[in-house]
């Protein structure tokens, strides 16, 4: 694609009078043979929201890690207010007023919420050698969550929080200090709509008070709601940068992918009479104090060939429903679950897997990825028994390679190869590896919890097509998503949860964003009261 001459990266005429808040010049970063950034330059004045867009693996997170001092061995120059800086580590960047919300959350699960927020910067009373000011830190933590409109208890252990709440803690941590530059790398991937609304309000306030916000998201509506300026990277290179008012989402997507993206088209295929999954009067009591929703009297069926969408607000019980079927809940659900007509009760996911059920979890870091392993090992993890020579538990390298090559190609996983460490992949590409793992199991029933979280627009439509194809082969698929257009594009039928109960079951012909939202808020009288 040609985009004419790329717009200049300087930010306008006043650049001559006062130096911009931030300038990154000719940044180059290689990871071994992978050129993550090949000469990227950006400029951002104060008081602006500047979005950085690009496909999975484009180099967005790497650029932000360079700025935040998390990557120190790069070529190029960073200037703050016209002064060259070179950070020796994250702490150094923080001292210079740069704060980052990491895409892959960077919290200590064993510590409390307040301890995480003040980690390394604990407040003391009675001078620097005084005792820890626990009360002060808790009060400040509460204040931060008030600002974000989220009542997360400061003393809760971070590891016990749901992924969406952990994301809120990561956000609060970045806001705990006044910063000149706040970097947000996919901050909303696990947030509910009302949480997103409140975060956006905080971003507006930051902007008004002169903070520069660098914002990364795959969601075009967020980018276009928030940004003053949009910069696009592709394959580690600067593609274009323009004021939001001068561009359209379509233009940005074209810059990102360098081609046109096919619209989401629902592909119908026959649904068989055979019920793969029947759930009857399923109830689940969450452990007391866990803050997780209960499930009440859930009844529905998923047939062979059918994609059933599970909609609902955050906390409605979507994940719990999938986990209850998969045997992954801390308490045992009541009610009946039948798989191809046989009553089943899984006490552990291993039992579910043996019976032909697979689940892609939303919280990939905690439950999905093995960060010490390679890409190939992460993909074939669940298939190892079949990839052996007879009774000898040796991995058959050829079969493994075929499976891995198929996955990399089918899901367009951007990696140096199967032997690369999984941690060397960008966030979205790691997610694709987990999806690949479960596809190789060839399950009868596939449970997908937010499968496209963090995945770019181009790869999303590939994954939708793949989901439809898998269903077309006679599987039943249960899928949650907080993005309604996604459910509308993929699901044959949508069940809607509100506070752990099914409030509607909508055939695709009748499903609209309005009908789903209406059912999703059935029992809530305070929805919309966020404003």
Ligand X SMILES: Nc1ncnc2c1ncn2[C@@H]1O[C@H](COP(=O)(O)OP(=O)(O)OP(=O)(O)O)[C@@H](O)[C@H]1O
Q: Is 59 in the site for ligand X (CB under 6 A)?
A: yes
To the nearest whole angstrom, how small is the minimum distance from the Cβ of residue 31 to ligand X?
Answer: 3
Write out the DSSP string of 212-255: EEEEE-S-HHHHHHH-SEEEEEETTEEEEEEEGGG--HHHHHHH
Alpha-carbon distance of 18 to 32, in angstroms, equals 38
- CB atoms near residue 425 (< 10 Å): 23
Q: Is 500 in the site for ligand X (CB under 6 A)?
A: no
Binding residue for ligand X (CB under 6 A) from 11, 112, 374, 426?
A: 426
Q: Which does 406 bind (CB under 5 to 8 A by kind): Mg ion, ligand X, none?
A: none
To the nearest whole angstrom, how small is the minimum distance from the Cβ of residue 150 to ligand X?
Answer: 24
- How many residues sit in the footprint of ligand X (CB under 6 A)? 21
Contact string 92-111 vs ligand X (x = CB under 6 A):
-----------x--------
Binding residue for ligand X (CB under 6 A) from 19, 28, 34, 225?
A: 34
**Quick one: DSSP state of residue 387?**
G
Scanning 17-25, 50-58, 76-84, 92-100 for contacts with ligand X by CB under 6 A, the matching segment is 50-58
Tokens 């806001």, residue located: 175
Looking at beta carbons only, is 265 or 423 nearer to ligand X? 423
Looking at beta carbons only, is 65 or 207 nearer to Mg ion? 65
- CB atoms near residue 273 (< 10 Å): 7
Q: Which does 256 bind (CB under 5 to 8 A by kind): Mg ion, ligand X, none?
A: none
To the nearest whole angstrom, how small is the minimum distance from the Cβ of residue 105 to ligand X?
Answer: 13
Q: Is 61 in the site for ligand X (CB under 6 A)?
A: yes
Query: Which residue of this chain has its Cβ atom nearest to Mg ion in the complex?
Result: 61
To the nearest whole angstrom, how small is the minimum distance from the Cβ of residue 60 to Mg ion?
Answer: 5
Looking at beta carbons only, is 61 or 481 nearer to Mg ion? 61
Looking at beta carbons only, is 312 or 428 nearer to ligand X? 428
Q: CB pairs under 8 A, 24+ apart, for 261-265?
A: 261/457, 261/458, 261/461, 262/461, 264/461, 264/464, 264/485, 264/489, 265/489
- β-pair type (342-344, 392-395): unpaired
Binding residue for ligand X (CB under 6 A) from 21, 50, 60, 254?
A: 60
Question: CA geometry: angle at 457 spanning 484 and 472, to 5°?
Answer: 65
- Would you state the structure tokens that stand for residue 312, as one six-digit string? 């609902």
Looking at beta carbons only, is 56 or 481 nearer to ligand X? 56
Q: Which does 34 bind (CB under 5 to 8 A by kind): ligand X, Mg ion, none?
A: ligand X
Q: Is 184 in the site for ligand X (CB under 6 A)?
A: no
Q: Is 256 in the site for ligand X (CB under 6 A)?
A: no
Q: Is 28 in the site for ligand X (CB under 6 A)?
A: no
Q: Which does 199 bind (CB under 5 to 8 A by kind): Mg ion, ligand X, none?
A: none
Looking at beta carbons only, is 66 or 502 nearer to ligand X? 66
- β-pair type (275-284, 357-360): unpaired
Q: Which does 429 bind (CB under 5 to 8 A by kind): ligand X, Mg ion, none?
A: ligand X
Scanning 15-23, 80-88, 173-181, 421-429 for contacts with ligand X by CB under 6 A, the matching segment is 421-429
Alpha-carbon distance of 52 to 373, in angstroms, equals 30
Q: Is 57 in the site for ligand X (CB under 6 A)?
A: yes
- Would you state the structure tokens that stand for residue 504, as one six-digit string? 């509607």
Scanning 267-275, 294-302, 360-368, 420-428 for contacts with ligand X by CB under 6 A, the matching segment is 420-428
Alpha-carbon distance of 177 to 168, in angstroms, equals 15
Phi, psi angle pair for 207, to nearest 5°: -60, -45
Alpha-carbon distance of 401 to 198, in angstroms, equals 46
Write out the DSSP string of 299-351: EEEEETT-EEEEE--TTSSHHHHHHHHHT-SSSPPEEEEEETTEEE--SSHHH
Alpha-carbon distance of 377 to 451, in angstroms, equals 20
Scanning 30-38, 344-352, 469-477, 505-513 for contacts with ligand X by CB under 6 A, the matching segment is 30-38
Residues interacting with Mg ion, by CB under 5 A?
61, 103, 426-427
Scanning 132-140, 422-430, 440-448, 501-509 for contacts with ligand X by CB under 6 A, the matching segment is 422-430
Alpha-carbon distance of 3 to 385, in angstroms, equals 50
Q: Are 209 and 201 in contact (CB under 8 A)?
A: no
Within 450-469, the residues that bind ligand X by CB under 6 A are 456
Return the sign of the alpha-carbon dihedral for residues 43, 49, 55, 56.
positive
Alpha-carbon distance of 202 to 101, in angstroms, equals 14
Q: Which does 500 bind (CB under 5 to 8 A by kind): Mg ion, ligand X, none?
A: none
**Quick one: DSSP state of residue 165?**
H
Alpha-carbon distance of 411 to 219, in angstroms, equals 20
Q: Is 429 in the site for ligand X (CB under 6 A)?
A: yes
Binding residue for ligand X (CB under 6 A) from 197, 299, 396, 424?
A: 424
Scanning 51-59, 89-97, 284-292, 345-353 for contacts with ligand X by CB under 6 A, the matching segment is 51-59
Alpha-carbon distance of 339 to 66, in angstroms, equals 50
To the nearest whole angstrom, how small is the minimum distance from the Cβ of residue 428 to ligand X?
Answer: 3
Picking from 435, 470, 286, the residue whose alpha carbon sits closest to that of residue 362 is 435
Return residues touching ligand X (CB under 6 A): 31, 34, 36, 54, 56-62, 103, 414, 423-429, 456
């Amino acid at each position: 694609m040609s985009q004419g001459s790329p717009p200049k990266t300087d930010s306008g005429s006043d650049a001559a009078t006062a130096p911009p808040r931030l300038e990154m010049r000719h940044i180059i970063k290689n990871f071994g043979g992978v050129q993550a950034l090949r000469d990227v330059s950006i400029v951002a004045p104060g008081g602006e929201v500047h979005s950085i867009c690009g496909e999975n693996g484009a180099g967005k997170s790497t650029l932000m890690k360079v700025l935040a001092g998390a990557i120190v061995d790069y070529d190029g120059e960073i200037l703050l207010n016209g002064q060259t800086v070179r950070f020796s580590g994250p702490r150094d960047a923080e001292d210079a007023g740069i704060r980052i919300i990491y895409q892959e959350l960077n919290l200590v699960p064993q510590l409390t919420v307040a301890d995480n927020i003040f980690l390394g910067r604990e407040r003391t009373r009675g001078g620097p050698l005084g005792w820890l000011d626990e009360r002060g830190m808790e009060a400040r933590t509460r204040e931060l969550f008030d600002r974000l409109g989220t009542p997360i208890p400061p003393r809760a252990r971070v590891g016990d929080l749901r992924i969406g709440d952990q994301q809120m803690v990561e956000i609060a941590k970045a806001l705990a200090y006044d910063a000149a530059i706040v970097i947000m790398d996919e901050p909303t991937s696990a947030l509910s709509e009302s949480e997103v609304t409140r975060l956006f309000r905080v971003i507006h306030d930051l902007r008004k008070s002169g903070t520069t916000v660098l914002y990364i998201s795959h969601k075009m509506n967020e980018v276009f709601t928030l940004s003053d300026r949009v910069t696009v990277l592709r394959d580690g290179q600067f593609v274009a940068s323009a004021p939001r008012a001068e561009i359209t989402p379509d233009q940005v997507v074209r810059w990102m992918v360098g081609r046109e993206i096919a619209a989401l088209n629902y592909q119908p295929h026959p649904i068989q009479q055979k019920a793969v999954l029947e759930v009857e009067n399923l109830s689940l009591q969450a452990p007391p104090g866990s803050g997780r929703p209960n499930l009440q009297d859930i009844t529905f069926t998923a047939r062979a060939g059918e994609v059933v969408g599970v909609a609902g607000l955050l906390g409605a019980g979507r994940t719990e429903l999938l986990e209850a079927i998969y045997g992954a809940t801390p308490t045992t659900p009541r009610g009946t679950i039948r798989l191809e007509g046989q009553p089943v009760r899984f006490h552990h996911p291993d039992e579910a897997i043996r019976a032909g059920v697979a689940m892609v979890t939303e919280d990939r870091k905690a439950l999905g990825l093995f960060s010490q392993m390679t890409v190939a090992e992460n993909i074939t993890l669940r298939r190892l028994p079949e990839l052996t020579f007879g009774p000898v538990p040796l991995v058959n390298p050829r079969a493994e390679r075929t499976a891995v090559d198929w996955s990399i190609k089918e899901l367009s996983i951007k990696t140096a190869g199967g032997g690369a460490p999984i941690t060397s992949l960008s966030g979205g590409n790691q997610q694709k590896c987990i999806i690949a793992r479960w596809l190789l199991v060839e399950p009868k029933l596939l449970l997908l919890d937010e499968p496209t979280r963090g995945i770019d627009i181009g790869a999303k439509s590939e994954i939708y097509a793949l989901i439809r194809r898998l269903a077309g082969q006679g599987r039943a698929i249960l899928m949650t998503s907080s993005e309604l257009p996604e459910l509308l594009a993929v699901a044959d039928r949508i069940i809607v949860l509100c506070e752990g109960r099914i409030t509607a079951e909508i055939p695709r012909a009748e499903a609209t964003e309005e009908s789903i939202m209406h059912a999703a808020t059935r029992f809530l009288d305070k929805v919309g009261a966020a404003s």
